[in-house]
Structure formats: C-alpha cells, structure tokens
Structure 1
C-alpha cells in the first residue's frame, strides 16, 4: 500500500478530531438526524475540496525548485504541528447555512466552506506537494476525514466526551512535526521518504 495513502489518511484522521468540520458533523447529526445524507455530503465536499488542494500541491511541486520546495514543505509541516494544537470552534455562519438547504446540500455547502483554508486542506496541499501521487494523497485525506467524521455523525455527543482531545491533538502535532523535520533533513516523497 502506498505511503502517500497511509500517511495522508493517518495524519488527517488525527488532525480532524476536534476540528471545526468534526464539530459541524456533530451539529448536523443532532439537527437533522439523517446520517447517510450527511455522510454523502461530507464525502462529496471533501473529494472536491481536497481534489482542488491536491491540484494546488501538484502545481507547487511543478513550479518550485526542489531545494525551495523542501524548505517550504518542512516549515509548512512544522506550522501544521503548532496549528493542530489550537482548538477549533465552529463559526455561527456555517451553522446557519445548514438550515437553508436539505440535509445533503447543507452538509455539502457547509463542509466545503468550512474546509476552505482549514488545516486539513492546507495539509492536503502540503502532502500533495510532498508525495508524487496526488491521487493517493487525496484518497488518503478524504478517507482520513471520513474516519474522523463518520463516527461523529453516528455517535454524536456520546463519542465526543470519551475522546482525549489533548492526546489526539498531541499525536497529530507530533506526526506533522516529524514530517516537517524529515522533510527539512532531506527525506520526503520525492526525497526518499
């Protein structure tokens, strides 16, 4: 199995725990009580959003020399490590959009908008630039989002109270930091990682 797929899945699944889109999944599940249209909305929004992020990552790789790319990616991963430790909160505007559309439409629109500029989207750009297989990165980041968000849709608040958020965020931050350091030291997708 591809390391791009495995790393992308694991890092995003951990980074997504406690993220605003996971909080949004809780909110939508509580409000609509229709899990399957919510899951399908999450899937569609994530595929499109992370597909675009993967394309940006591939463009960055093609546009920037390998030495500069190594430093940009290494620093980006270290920045993601710090950002992962900052708890997210859901914006009121995102929650209000959910009431204007059907369940699938509300989920699709709110997840797509919530992911714009979010740490998981930025991480997708960085990982797509880091690895040579954009398809596997996007598949992995999408799978990671589903691993974190689908249980939130089905288990709701019961699950949230049992997850040690600080520990999960610490592990995700450590993974991002390890990727950053490995990249800066010359390891990484095109660099042998």
Structure 2
C-alpha cells in the first residue's frame, strides 16, 4: 500500500470538501431533521459512491490517455472554471 498516495488523496479531498455545498447541505439536513446519525450515514454513503464513480472513471481514462495529458487538461479546467467564477463575481448584480 502506497501511504503517500493514501495521505495525499485524503488530505486533498478533505480540504476540498471543507465548507463546500455538500458539507453545508449535510449540516442543514442534520439541523432540520434532528437525525444526525441517519444524515451522517446517508452523506457518507453518497460521498463513497461519488468517489467510486470518480475512481472508476479515472481508471478508465488512465487506460486510454497519457497521465500528463490528464494533468494538463485538469489544470486547464481548474483555471477556466476559476476564471469563469471570478468573472461572474464582477458581472453579478447585487
């Protein structure tokens, strides 16, 4: 088992999930339903299943595309989406 890959993945996903809309939705559901363990179980299962889909898609993609190209496209998408979101903040009406 590659512990470096494990801890890198854990850290990146953990930081990416902090304060995102998934966490805010889960917090809202726990507060409104009063069933914290049920909400925890459902949100954990949803995250596990979405992660499974991502891993399977990544494995499928890795078999067909060079890893360096995947990194470049992913980086470009992050820059484009970030720029788009930044542009929206300047054009949004209050």
TM range (shorter): 0.7 to 0.9
**Aligned residue pairs, count:** 83
Where does residue 20 of structure 2 map in the other structure?
Answer: 19
Where does residue 28 of structure 1 map in the other structure?
Answer: 29
Q: CA deviation at 1:29?
A: 1.3
Where does residue 39 of structure 1 map in the other structure?
Answer: 40
Aligned-partner SS, 1:63 = coil
Correspondence 1:176-187 to 2 at 5 A: none
C-alpha separation in 2, matches of 1:2 and 1:46:
21
Q: CA deviation at 1:25?
A: 1.1
Where does residue 70 of structure 1 map in the other structure?
Answer: 68
Alignment partner of 1:61 is 2:62:
yes
Aligned-partner SS, 1:18 = coil
Cα RMSD of the aligned pairs, angstroms, is 2.4
Greater Rg over alpha carbons, structure: 2
Q: Which has the higher contact order (CA 8 A, sep 6+)?
A: 1
C-alpha separation in 2, matches of 1:48 and 1:6:
20
Q: CA deviation at 1:80?
A: 3.6
C-alpha separation in 2, matches of 1:14 and 1:78:
20
Q: CA deviation at 1:76?
A: 0.7
Q: CA deviation at 1:83?
A: 5.2
Aligned-partner SS, 1:71 = helix
Q: TM-score, normalised by structure 2?
A: 0.72
Unaligned runs of 5+ in 2: 86-94
Unaligned runs of 5+ in 1: 87-193
